[in-house]
Structure 1
Amino acid sequence: MDHNEVPGHLGEDKVTEETKKLISSLPKDKDSQGRRLCKYQGSWYYYNTLQGLINFHNNFQPQETDIILASSPKSGTTWLKALTVALLERSKHHDDHPLLSDNPHAIVPFLENNLYLKSSTPDLTKYSSSSSSSPRVFATHMPLHTLKEGLRGSPCKIVFMCRNAKDALISMWYFICKNQRVEATRSILESLFESLCRGVTFYGPFWDQVLSYWRGSLEDPSRVLFMKYEEMKEEPCVQLKRLAEFLGCPFTEEEEESGAVEKILELCSLRSLSDLEANKSGKTVNGVDHKFFFRKGEVGDWKNHLTPEMERRIDMIIEEKLKGSGLSF
């Protein structure tokens, strides 16, 4: 659960009779904390999130200029949202930059976990672009084949950010414990680890979700951009320019010389964002404290928490699942 999608705040009371009927026909399981999941189009969802997804499929009207930011849970979602907003806003030269006064999750809402979770027909006018230079930006954790069903053939751009599953696991562990105000115990981590290995996690299996976007980016690179969190950390300037290019707003030579790339990276750094009042206080629409989205943001933190046996086991599973795809971590 990456953000504002912790189940329970908008529980199963939102599920329609039609969706209940669908759920009754689907495979079911439980997550690491015993919450009910159902498997739809190859991925696991909480019942209320499935309702949000179906609302999205039935009612979303895509615009050709839309940008969809997709990600695996706890894989740099907040950072990707901030960077995209900063890229699109940079030509406006205003003092009231949206990132200075609002959390990235409020500026770029999740489709199935926010907008369409709350309503089958949410009002999207505030996200509508007043000009072609300001596209609408939304987010999702759905796999690509499920997302595409709601895009109805629209040529809009899709950016996917993934992260090494072991680091994402540690990030999820801390996030869940902070959000539930409980101690980050070993038993909770081990339970999450087992769910990850079984592929029974919210939006999982991890490998299927990642492969859907990897293959999509190979089939249609002008429409689907595949990014790795580790590469963003290693070569931030290169990756930010790559993102700008893909979104159709590349940096000019003049901008590069004036340090525009570095300014965006500084504004969107974990340190800068976590220092802002908008991210120290306040909550998402589903009741998650904004400050919980900012922890270490490091690569390799899993080494401080996983045993060599856990490392070997998850590495073997993922290597086997990704075999022959050309994708590796």
Structure 2
Amino acid sequence: MSKTEDKERKNDHMAHLADRYKDKLTTLPDKKVPLFGSLYMYQGFWYKCNKLQNIFSIESLLLAQETFKAHPADIYVTTFPKSGTTWIKSLVFATVNRTRYKNNTFSTHPLSRSNPHKCVPFIETELYRNTPNYPDEHSPRLLSTHTCYTSLPQTIVDCGCRIVYMCRNPKDVLVYFFHFLSKMRNKYQIPEIKLEDLFETFANGSIMYGPYWDHVKGYYKASIKHPTRILFLTYEDMTRDTANGVKRLAEFLGVPFTKEEEVYGSVDDIVRLCSLENLKDVDKDGLSHGIPNETFYREGKIGDWANHLTSEMIETLDQITKENFLGLNISF
């Protein structure tokens, strides 16, 4: 199937979905949000509809809940948007597949040729493919989603597969969301975006996949209940000590590094392969989900929020975070 035919098929499928779930949408609370248009509340979180053929929509979630079949050997990478999704995908892919690609040179490794979103595709994008990136016989399948824990397809929750969740300081999430949307303005004819407006939207939870704090708490509490199935990470911890973070990741995923691998620098090789410096130059002129690959990368710094947020914004977000994470061992 050509790219044009594949795109036409996807668009037809999405149009069919819009019709299939239109009655369901009329039963859901909705609101108009200046930066995102119409958002629908479903199972406690806000989602876009696919009127603009948005793959990451409430319709896609409903379809996944109805039809997606998880396997016990699957691995799912889950995040709230702009929490280091691209990076954690690359680390999981490189760690799980290090034996498979051990004879590849640095330049021929899949992560040196393809964006991590293609190596670890979203469940939502796979729903529209005739031939999924990870066919059923490939094990483990590596897939991802931004969906909150309580809305995951039930087969993921029930089958015993592993989930890696990474969260990030909400102040940095807000700033990176702002820069991401700003980069998207020209492509999607989005009106001018003001940080003050996005702050209000983010703080009151009316953002795609939001509220942010409920998203994080859902996976955190699930990880406490199921520690062998759900690994809860923070972007900050992974950034400060990536090598030990990768070893912890490998242990959790059932592929721990051997002493020999550590001596020969396998951990350091993965850290280097998945560095921002390497990833941002891979297929930089290509597209993932119709979005230019370069859009997914910025500086990757911790604490960049201090250069953008006002003292009032900082105080407000800190207070909301304190109230929501009270009694939980979540810190940035």
- TM-score with structure 2 setting the length: 0.88
Change (3 A) 1:77 1:152: closer
Amino acid in the other structure paired with 2:226: D
Change (3 A) 1:15 1:104: same
Partner of 1:108: 120
Give the match's secondary structure for 2:163. Answer: strand
Q: Deviations over 1:120-152 (max 9, x none)?
A: xx4455403656xx4101110111111152426
Partner of 1:205: 211
Report the Cα distance in structure 2 between the residues aligned to 1:152 and 1:301, rounded to whole angstroms: 35
Q: 1:78–1:105: 8 Å Cα contact kept in structure 2?
A: yes
Give the match's secondary structure for 1:109. Answer: coil
Partner of 1:164: 169
Partner of 1:4: none
Report the Cα distance in structure 2 between the residues aligned to 1:126 and 1:171, rounded to whole angstroms: 28
Amino acid in the other structure paired with 2:292: D
Q: 2:79–2:166: 8 Å Cα contact kept in structure 1?
A: yes
Question: How is 1:217-232 mapped onto 2 (pairs within 5 angstroms)?
Answer: 217-232=223-238
Choose between structure 1 and 2 for higher RCO, CA contacts under 8 A separated by at least 6 residues. Answer: 1
**1:325, distance to aligned residue in structure 2 (A):** 2.9
Aligned length: 311
Report the Cα distance in structure 2 between the residues aligned to 1:25 and 1:14, rounded to whole angstroms: 19
- Which of the numbers 187, 195, 198 marks the counterpart of 1:189? 195
Change (3 A) 1:145 1:101: same
- Which of the numbers 98, 123, 127 marks the counterpart of 2:110? 98
Partner of 1:144: 149
Amino acid in the other structure paired with 1:251: F
Partner of 2:7: none
Give the match's secondary structure for 1:168. Answer: helix
**1:322, distance to aligned residue in structure 2 (A):** 1.6
Partner of 2:288: 284
CA RMSD of aligned residues (A): 2.3
Amino acid in the other structure paired with 2:185: Q
- Which of the numbers 158, 164, 178 marks the counterpart of 1:173? 178
**1:24, distance to aligned residue in structure 2 (A):** 0.8
Query: Does structure 1 residue 68 correspond to structure 2 residue 76?
Result: yes
**1:171, distance to aligned residue in structure 2 (A):** 0.7
Q: 1:319–1:328: 8 Å Cα contact kept in structure 2?
A: no
Query: Does structure 1 residue 79 correspond to structure 2 residue 87?
Result: yes
Q: 2:65–2:154: 8 Å Cα contact kept in structure 1?
A: yes
- Which of the numbers 300, 309, 313 marks the counterpart of 1:310? 313
Q: Which runs of 4+ in 1 moved over 6 A?
A: 9-12, 182-186
Partner of 2:261: 255
Structure 1 stretch displaced more, 20-29 or 122-131: 122-131
Q: 1:29–1:37: 8 Å Cα contact kept in structure 2?
A: yes
Structure 2 unpaired stretches of 5+? 1-9, 51-56
Report the Cα distance in structure 2 between the residues aligned to 1:148 and 1:218, rounded to whole angstroms: 20
Partner of 1:5: none
Report the Cα distance in structure 2 between the residues aligned to 1:149 and 1:32, rounded to whole angstroms: 33
Q: 2:75–2:162: 8 Å Cα contact kept in structure 1?
A: yes
Partner of 1:45: 47
Q: 1:56–1:150: 8 Å Cα contact kept in structure 2?
A: no
Query: Does structure 1 residue 327 correspond to structure 2 residue 318?
Result: no
**1:32, distance to aligned residue in structure 2 (A):** 4.3
Q: Deviations over 1:291-328 (max 9, x none)?
A: 11111000000000001111001110111122223333
Report the Cα distance in structure 2 between the residues aligned to 1:321 and 1:268, rounded to whole angstroms: 32
Give the match's secondary structure for 1:233. Answer: helix
Report the Cα distance in structure 1 between the residues aligned to 2:311 and 2:81, rounded to whole angstroms: 24
Change (3 A) 1:69 1:274: same
Structure 1 stretch displaced more, 66-75 or 21-30: 21-30
Give the match's secondary structure for 1:303. Answer: helix
Q: Deviations over 1:228-252 (max 9, x none)?
A: 0000011111111111111111100
